[in-house]
């Protein structure tokens, strides 16, 4: 049996199952694994693949886990998750349906552990604990968990066999599949949810002369606040000098008419425009311009909070413009707090203020989990354009496809090693396909924790372009070797820094302390060192080395190699697709440009005697 490898995070294999929801329920997800092409499930760890219409997983000592993508629909407190499940051979260890997934060391699972033995269990700090168990030797294949808040019931072939009451509701994490110490296959996945409709959905329209703060702070669950065109004002209020507090609310949307038309103007003494309090679930703030008033009288955040905030889940900040502030968007909680499931996309953050710690950040996060910062433009940040701190192992932070323009444009930051993208005292971070243009400081840094010794592990730098770099392009001081593939640094050629060591594309020297470190960067496989070119298209990465082209699944690092070696090949270009279309991989050979069909590994001439430049990621 040969498994077709899958791309973690963005791809899997399947057509949508016809899933009719029972009365009172909403169909959230269905998957039958009949053909490739959807983006419904991602392989998080272990080996996963589709074979003959079934989804196979192979787990070793550590479980193989795949995670379902239910976006944009949130998971309600009451839901059912069903699948056909079959373990093969003498598999041992807990496998089955995963729920409340936070990380590979923190999730819950219901399913078989061996022949005729079924459990509901928890993975806690990497150790598995059985919560409830039962025997059933009838060889059931239809497995379903029924969840209502903290109550979980396992049904086998429609018969309830195990139940357990957890200490807290279990709908906050992701759903998925797990295979431990063996092989199993899954089919006919389906998720149905029951939403609480007791709260009526309210739509409130706010004009520039209305009380925006009062509307936000009095909004009940399920409210949409629509800001009309014009300038809305927020002034400082107790207790945090905030414009408005958002707390103890679910399913709240604050939306404008687009950042060109709707502005929220913050008074000079506002510390936080929108203060993120605790116990917030499924919040969206979108289509606004949040603008500070300079010179700032205080450390103004567009969106942010002090570190006492917790229990914030499934938050989206999108299509915002944030300007003239100390920090654009901050996602902070304390050690052990919960700030989980955040999407920061398609925003424009410009002209941050200040250079000291806590000032001059575009997007900043501390102790957050399951965060996506993607497709943003951050221009002229003065300390860090993107700053990731204290994310724990398994936190799952993705920094992808952002454009960082003219970081510290005027050179006012005295600490030139304050990187545009800084991964500091953090783990489980992927930095991929970002473009940094003319950074007047270090481009990307991975830095150790000299104070508390937090781990800095599972960091990947993939296909980032740092162009016209004034100083070091990529800087690593952790004393460890981290994964890096296809990153490109183009140093500035004029007005170079006085010390040549400051101008290297990659450096492992700890400049503030004046010492060398044992840090390093290495490709996932030795065959991808010293590449001639790299391109990305359709969720795959393509490498060129000595005429050999590899197609790579990012983060799983499985690959296919072209059957032909083009010894005269000079480069690759990934032409990104329009929405709903497929991108094109281009191979440059001499004076010819060819479309490369990666299924059959055949070439089609696109242009002869033409000049083509690489558009970058």
Q: Tell whether 241 is covered by a domain.
A: yes
pLDDT at 538: 85
> Between residues 545 and 151, which one has the greater pLDDT?
545
Predicted local confidence at residue 13, as pLDDT:
31
Instruction: Return the structure tokens found at 471.
Output: 């100083």
For 394-523, strand residue ranges (E) read: 397-400, 403-405, 421-424, 429-432, 435-437, 444-447, 459-462, 465-469, 474-476, 481-485, 488-491, 506-507, 509-510, 515-516, 520-522
> What Å distances lie between residue 287 and 209, 213, 219, 250, 290, CA to CA?
19, 17, 19, 20, 10
Q: Which is more confidently placed, 121 or 359?
A: 359
Domain that holds residue 52: 4-194
179 and 219 fall within a common domain: no
Domain count, the chain: 3
Give all strands of the β-sheet with 397-400 in edge-to-edge order: 202-206, 223-227, 249-255, 280-286, 312-318, 339-345, 369-374, 397-400, 429-432, 459-462, 481-485, 520-522
Task: State residue 216's pLDDT score.
Answer: 97
| Half-sphere exposure at residue 316, Cβ-oriented, CA atoms within 13 angstroms | 18
What residues have CB less than 8 Å from 193, skipping those under 6 apart?
Answer: 25, 26, 28, 73, 75, 76, 78, 79, 80
Q: Are residue 292 and residue 338 in the same domain, yes or no?
A: yes
Average pLDDT estimate for 421-448: 96
In a domain, 159, yes or no: yes
Identify the band that residue 419 occupies on the pLDDT scale cut at 50, 70 and 90. very high
pLDDT at 10 over 70: no
What is the number of other CB atoms lying within 10 angstroms of the CB of residue 500?
8
Whether 510 is in a domain gets the answer no
| Residue-level pLDDT at 17 | 36
Same-domain status, 260 and 408:
yes
How do residues 250-277 score in pLDDT, each as one tens digit? 999 999 999 999 999 999 999 999 999 9
Q: Which of 194, 219, 250 is the last residue of a domain?
A: 194
Question: Residue 115: what pLDDT?
Answer: 66
* 561 shares a domain with 460: no
Instruction: Among 194, 222, 237, identify where a domain stops.
Output: 194
The answer to the question of residue 460 being in a domain is: yes
Look at residue 578 in the predicted model and tell me its pLDDT: 67
Environment class of residue 268 by beta-carbon count within 10 Å: exposed (0-12), middle (13-18) or buried (19+)?
middle
Q: What pLDDT does 157 receive? A: 82
DSSP tag of 451: S
Confidence band, pLDDT 50/70/90 cuts, at residue 413 = very high
Whether residues 290 and 439 share a domain: the answer is yes
**Same domain flag for 308 and 452:** yes
| Mean per-residue pLDDT, 6-33 | 54
- Examine residue 614 and state whether it is found in any structural domain, yes or no: no
Least confident interval from 83-87, 384-388, 613-617: 613-617
Query: What's the pLDDT at 34?
Result: 72
pLDDT the model gives residue 23: 54
pLDDT band at 501, cuts 50/70/90? Answer: confident
Whether residue 481 sits in one domain with residue 403: yes
Instruction: Please tell me the predicted confidence (pLDDT) of residue 24.
Output: 65
What's the chain's average pLDDT?
Answer: 87
What pLDDT score does 12 carry?
34
* Judgement on whether residues 167 and 305 belong to the same structural domain of the protein: no
Residue 106, pLDDT > 90, answer no
405 and 258 fall within a common domain: yes
Q: What is the pLDDT of residue 18?
A: 38
Query: pLDDT exceeding 90 applies to what percent of the chain?
Result: 61
What is the mean predicted confidence (pLDDT) over 580-586?
82
pLDDT reported for residue 614:
57
Asked if residue 211 has pLDDT above 80, the reply is yes
CATH code for the domain of 104 = 2.60.120.560
Measure the CA–CA gap between 288 and 236, rounded to whole angstroms: 19
186/297 same-domain check? no
Strands (DSSP E) found in 559-601: 559-561, 569-575, 584-589, 592-597
pLDDT of residue 234: 98
Q: What is the CATH number of the domain that holds 284?
A: 2.160.20
Structural domain includes residue 517: no
407 located within any domain = yes
- The confidence score (pLDDT) of residue 558 equals 92
Clarify whether residues 156 and 211 are in a common domain: no
- The domain boundary, picked from 194, 223, 256, lies at 194
Structure tokens at 380: 């002229």
Query: What mean pLDDT is predicted for residues 182-197?
Result: 83
Write down the pLDDT at residue 7.
34
Measured distance CA(427)–CA(445) in Å, rounded: 13
Handedness of CA 173, 338, 386, 530 (dihedral sign): negative
List, for residues 38-51, the tens digit of each pLDDT value: 457 888 888 888 88
pTM: 0.72
Residue partners of 493: CB distance under 8 A and separation at least 6: none
Q: CA 10: distance to chain centroid?
A: 11
Interval 229-247: pLDDT, tens: 999 999 999 999 999 999 9
The mean pLDDT of 369-396, rounded to a whole number, is: 95
- For residues 435 and 335, state if they share a domain: yes
Does residue 22 have a pLDDT over 70?
Answer: no
117 is a domain residue: yes
């Amino acid at each position: 049996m040969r498994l077709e490898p899958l791309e973690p995070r963005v791809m899997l294999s399947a057509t949508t199952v016809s899933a009719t929801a029972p009365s009172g329920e909403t169909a959230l997800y269905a998957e039958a694994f009949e053909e490739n092409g959807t983006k419904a499930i991602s392989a998080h760890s272990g080996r996963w693949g589709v074979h003959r219409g079934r989804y196979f997983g192979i787990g070793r000592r550590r479980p193989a886990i795949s995670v379902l993508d239910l976006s944009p629909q949130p998971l309600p407190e009451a839901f059912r998750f069903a699948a056909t499940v079959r373990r093969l051979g003498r598999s041992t260890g807990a496998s089955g349906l995963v729920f409340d997934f936070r990380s590979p060391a923190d999730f819950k699972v219901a399913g078989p552990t061996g022949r005729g033995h079924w459990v509901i269990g928890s993975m806690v700090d990497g150790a598995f604990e059985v919560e409830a168990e039962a025997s059933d030797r009838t060889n059931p294949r239809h497995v379903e968990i029924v969840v209502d808040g903290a109550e979980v019931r396992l049904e086998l072939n429609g018969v309830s066999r195990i139940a357990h009451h957890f200490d807290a509701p279990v709908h906050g994490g992701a759903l998925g599949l797990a295979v431990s110490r063996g092989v199993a296959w899954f089919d006919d996945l389906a998720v149905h949810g029951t939403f609480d409709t007791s709260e009526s959905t309210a739509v409130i329209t706010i004009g520039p002369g209305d009380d925006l703060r009062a509307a936000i702070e009095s909004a009940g669950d399920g409210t949409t606040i629509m800001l009309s065109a014009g300038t809305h004002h927020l002034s400082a209020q107790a207790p945090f000098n905030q414009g408005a507090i958002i707390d103890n609310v679910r399913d709240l949307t604050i939306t404008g008419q687009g950042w060109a038309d709707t502005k929220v103007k913050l008074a000079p003494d506002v510390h936080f425009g929108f203060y993120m309090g605790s116990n917030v679930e499924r919040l969206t703030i979108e289509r606004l311009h949040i603008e500070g008033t300079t010179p700032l009288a205080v450390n103004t955040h567009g969106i942010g909070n002090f570190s006492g905030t917790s229990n914030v889940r499934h938050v989206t900040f999108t299509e915002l413009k944030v300007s003239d502030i100390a920090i654009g968007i901050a996602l902070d909680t304390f050690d052990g707090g919960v700030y989980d499931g955040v999407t920061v996309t398609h925003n424009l953050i410009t002209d941050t203020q200040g250079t000291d710690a806590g000032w001059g950040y575009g997007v900043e996060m501390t102790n957050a989990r399951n965060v996506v910062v993607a497709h943003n433009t951050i221009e002229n940040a003065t300390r860090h354009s993107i700053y990731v701190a204290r994310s724990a192992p398994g936190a799952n932070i993705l920094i992808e496809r952002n454009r960082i323009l003219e970081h510290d444009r005027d050179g006012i930051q005295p600490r030139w090693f304050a990187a545009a993208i800084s991964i500091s005292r953090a783990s489980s971070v992927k930095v991929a396909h970002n473009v940094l243009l003319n950074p007047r400081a270090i481009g990307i840094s991975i830095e150790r924790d000299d104070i508390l010794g937090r781990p800095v592990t599972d960091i990947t730098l993939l296909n980032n372009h740092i162009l016209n770099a004034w100083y070091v392009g990529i800087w690593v001081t952790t004393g460890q070797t981290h994964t890096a593939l296809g990153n490109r640094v183009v140093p500035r050629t004029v007005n170079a820094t006085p010390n040549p060591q400051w101008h290297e594309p990659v450096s492992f020297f700890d400049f503030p302390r004046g010492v060398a470190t044992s840090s390093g960067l290495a490709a996932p496989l030795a065959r991808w060192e010293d590449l001639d070119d790299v391109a990305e298209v359709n969720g795959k990465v393509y490498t060129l080395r000595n005429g050999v082209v590899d197609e790579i699944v990012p983060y799983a690092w499985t690959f296919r190699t072209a059957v032909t070696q083009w010894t005269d090949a000079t480069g690759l270009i990934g032409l990104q697709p329009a929405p709903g279309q497929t991108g094109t991989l281009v191979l440059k050979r001499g004076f010819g440009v060819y479309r490369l069909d990666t299924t059959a590994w055949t070439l089609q001439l696109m242009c002869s005697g033409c000049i083509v430049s690489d558009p970058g990621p």
